[in-house]
Amino acid sequence: MPPGDEVLVHARALTKRFGDFTAVDAVDFDVRTGEAFGFLGPNGAGKTSTMRMIACSSPISDGELSVIGMDPRSQAPRIKSRIGVVPQIDNLDAELTVRENLLMYARYFDIAGEIAGRRADELLDFVQLGERAGDQVEPLSGGMKRRLTIARSLINDPELVILDEPTTGLDPQARHLVWERLYRLKQRGATLIITTHYMDEAEQLCDRLVVMDKAKIVAEGSPRDLIQRYSTREVLEIRVSDAVRATLNGRLEDVAERVEELPDRLLLYVGDGEQALEAVHDRQVPLESALVRRATLEDVFLRLTGRTLIE
């Protein structure tokens, strides 16, 4: 389903303060129906605070917010009945079994027993937990708990699903399984809002995203847009010894459009990585290692904030 033009979540100058501290500072964004919209940013950027305001579990301090055309200040229960929430930290009911977790959650939404049972079974299949239906929640692996939380967020057949770091802490295999399920969810027409501090997650899942840093949105666009706008096509990563690094002072500037110096390596932003690598060799700079890769959102973030995403 192509992203529609209808705006499902609309925020203007949206602000969250905790006492004197501003966690979300006057951000603007629009999430359209049917798209997967990302919030990419490092720890403490304000992603969760923003999600919680959208999910009506945190009062907004200032600004405008509408969710599915409703105002969280006055219509929270109606909004909540139409969205699904996957919180950053799992809050499954440890005293109930896997299936009971879904059935009970259905009860909270006032979904009748028979329908609830059918949906619970479908969703357990959807997240591939059918065989664990009768088990307790506690012994499940992190990835299984995450999938159960995702299944639970879908029990009310929501139009909008808010996922706060859906794959943080999971091993690569578990992450791919979650991604694949989220992709299918989107295929079925759900609108997704996803926060992450993994650039590959954002690139894989999001049609559009905002980059958040220190309570503010610093850029917005599709992953490709952002890379085009803020980076070159390729990146040459080189490692040199400290002694060599000390003698470089600007010798590589004209090889690349831009050079980023990180503690452990240098990033040369270039159109053609192999060509740039030859140019570096021509200048007889002794390299410990060299790698040519495509530019990613990580590079966008570095450009925008001068820092890496995961410190």
Partner 1 sequence: MTVNALAPAARVLQRNLWVYRRTWRGSILGSFLTPLLYLTAMGVGVGSLVTAAGSPAFEGYEFVHFLGPGILAATCMQSAVFESTFPVLGKISWRRNYEAMLATPLGVPHLLAGELLWVGFRVLTISAVFLAVMTLFGIPRYPLALLAIPAAILTGLAFSASVIAFAATQRTGEGFSWLFRFVINPLFLFSGTFFPLSQLPDAVEWAAALTPLYHGVALVRGTVLAEQAFLGPWPLHVAYLVAFGAVGAFLAHRLLKRRLLS
Ligand X SMILES: Nc1ncnc2c1ncn2[C@@H]1O[C@H](COP(=O)(O)OP(=O)(O)OP(=O)(O)O)[C@@H](O)[C@H]1O
Please give the residue ranges that form the binding site for partner 1 (CB under 8 A).
Answer: 18, 55, 57-59, 76-78, 80-81, 85, 87, 89, 91-96, 100, 104-105, 107-110, 156
**Smallest distance from the beta carbon of 23 to ligand X, in angstroms?**
3
Which listed residue (13, 18, 229, 254) binds ligand X by CB under 6 A?
Answer: 18
Residues 248 and 286: beta-carbon distance below 8 Å: no
Q: What is the DSSP string of 151-168?
A: HHHTTT--SEEEEESTTT
Cβ–Cβ under 8 Å, residues 149 and 89: no
Place of tokens 């079974």: 121
Of 244, 235, 242, 232, give the one whose Cα is nearest residue 267.
235
| Nearest residue (CB) to ligand X, 33 versus 49 | 49
Q: Which stretch binds Mg ion (CB under 5 A): 41-49, 58-66, 155-163, 242-250?
A: 41-49
Pairing state of beta strands 7-18 and 62-67? antiparallel
133 backbone φψ class: left, alpha, beta (φ>0; ψ -120 to 50) = alpha
Q: Which stretch binds ligand X (CB under 6 A): 4-12, 44-52, 120-128, 298-306?
A: 44-52
84/286 Cα distance (integer angstroms): 54
Q: How far apart are CA 86 and CA 153, in angstroms?
A: 6
- Interface region with ligand X, contact rule CB under 6 A, candidates 46-54, 76-84, 121-129, 287-295: 46-54
Both tokens of 80, joined, read 């909540």
Decide if residue 43 touches ligand X (CB under 6 A). yes
Give the alpha-carbon dihedral of 243, 249, 254, 259, to 10 degrees.
Answer: 80
In the bound state with partner 1, the residue whose beta carbon lies nearer, of 76 and 244, is 76
Listed residue (89, 70, 88, 90) closest to 80, CA to CA: 70
58 touching Mg ion, by CB under 5 A: no
Among the listed residues 15, 22, 33, 48, the single contact to Mg ion using CB under 5 A: 48
Interface segment toward Mg ion; rule CB under 5 A; list 30-38, 88-96, 174-182, 205-213: 88-96
Residue closer to Mg ion by CB (options 89, 115) is 89
Closest approach of ligand X to the CB of residue 64, in Å: 19
Q: How far is the CB of 28 from ligand X (least distance, A)?
A: 17
Question: Which member of 1, 12, 44, 93 binds ligand X (CB under 6 A)?
Answer: 44
Binding mask 69-98 for ligand X (x = CB under 6 A): -------------------x----------
> Considering only residues 100-159, where is the footprint of ligand X by CB under 6 A?
none
- Cα distances from 129 to residues 177, 178, 264, in angstroms, run 12, 12, 42
Note the residues at the interface with Mg ion (CB under 5 A).
47-48, 88
Note the residues at the interface with ligand X (CB under 6 A).
18, 21, 23, 41, 43-49, 88, 197
